Amino acid sequence: MNADERWFQGHLRELDEAECWELLRSCEVGRVAYVDARGPMVVPVTFVAEDASLLFRVSAYSELARHLPGAEAALEVDDIDYFTRSGWSVVLRGPIEVVPSDELPPVDARPTPWPEGQRSLYLRLTAALVTGRRLLEA
């Protein structure tokens, strides 16, 4: 991927995959991008980073449940500092599959939705491509 395509270009450092995973593991909220009838859409989700995948939960009757299983998706996490105009962004891309309840990790290794309500459908995004970049202070 061309470094030039991101919002950070100058004092830019490409993150290696280990750094990307470390940052993914430091975050609880990301933004999942998917495609519906209108085109690309992106919404926040809480997630848990696994060895080579991300696990998150959605309502079984949601738009995410309708469009994500079996499809390609991207999940982005970032930390952006307006004051110093610096930050980092990590994107994990790959296919989404439904995780059957008997294949779920222990309860304390599952993501915790912040809102109230049922989020009974567990989805896993398996990493096909992990990229990240850090914009250093100018």
Closest CA to 136 of 22, 13, 23: 13
Minimum Å gap between C-beta 102 and its own copies is 25
Please identify, among the stretches 14-22, 28-36, 102-110, the one whose residues bind its own copies according to the rule CB under 8 A: 28-36
Nearer to its own copies, 21 or 111 (CB): 111
Please tell me the distance from the alpha carbon of residue 126 to that of residue 94, in angstroms, as a whole number: 5
Burial of 101 (0-12, 13-18, 19+ CB in 10 A): exposed
In sequence order, which residues have a C-beta less than 8 Å from that of residue 93 and are 6 or more positions away?
72, 73, 74, 127, 128, 129, 130
Residues 61-100, mask of contacts with its own copies (x by CB under 8 A) = xxxxx-----xxxx-x-x-x-x--xxx-x-x-x-------
Beta-strand relationship, 29-36 and 12-14: unpaired
Out of 59, 97, 98, 99, the residue judged to bind its own copies by CB under 8 A: 59
Binding flag, residue 43, its own copies (CB under 8 A): yes
Nearer to its own copies, 102 or 130 (CB): 130
Nearer to its own copies, 102 or 115 (CB): 115
